[in-house]
Amino acid sequence: MTSGRVVSALTIAGSDSGGGAGIQADLKTFAALGVHGLSAITALTAQNTRGVTAVHVPPVEFLRAQIDACFDDFDICAVKIGMLATADVIATVADALERHRPCAVVLDPVMVATSGSRLLADDAIDALRRRLLPLATLVTPNIPEAEALLGHAIPDAATAQRAVTELRKLGARAVLLKGGHLAEGSAVIDRYDDGAQAASFVHPRIDVLAHGTGCTLASAIAANLCLGKALPDACQDASDYIADALRTGYRPGRGEIAVLDHQARAGRGNKKADE
54 in a domain, yes or no? yes
273 in a domain, yes or no? no
Mean pLDDT for the stretch of residues 174-193:
88
271 in a domain, yes or no? no
> Number of C-alpha atoms within 13 angstroms, CB side, residue 143?
18
198 in a domain, yes or no? yes
Vertex 45 angle, CA 274 and 262, to 5°: 45
What phi, psi does 245 have (nearest 5°)? -70, -30
Determine the pLDDT at residue 141: 95
Mean pLDDT for the stretch of residues 198-225:
92
Question: Is residue 80 a contact partner of residue 102, using CB atoms and an 8 Å limit?
Answer: no
Determine the pLDDT at residue 271: 46
Q: For 149, left (φ over 0), alpha (ψ -120 to 50), or beta?
A: alpha
- pLDDT single digits (tens) 21-69: 999 999 999 999 999 999 999 999 999 988 889 999 999 999 999 999 9
- Taking alpha carbons only, the member of 54, 31, 34 closest to residue 44 is 54
If residue 144 lies in a helix (H) or strand (E), which one and from where to where? helix 143-150
275 in a domain, yes or no? no
Tell me, what CATH number does 107's domain have?
3.40.1190.20
15 in a domain, yes or no? yes
95 in a domain, yes or no? yes
The band of 115, judged by pLDDT with boundaries at 50, 70 and 90, is low
The number of distinct structural domains making up the chain is 1
Question: Is residue 249 a contact partner of residue 269, using CB atoms and an 8 Å limit?
Answer: no
Domain that holds residue 126: 7-264
Please provide the distance, in angstroms rounded to a whole number, between the alpha carbons at the two ends of the chain.
41
Mean pLDDT for the stretch of residues 168-178:
96
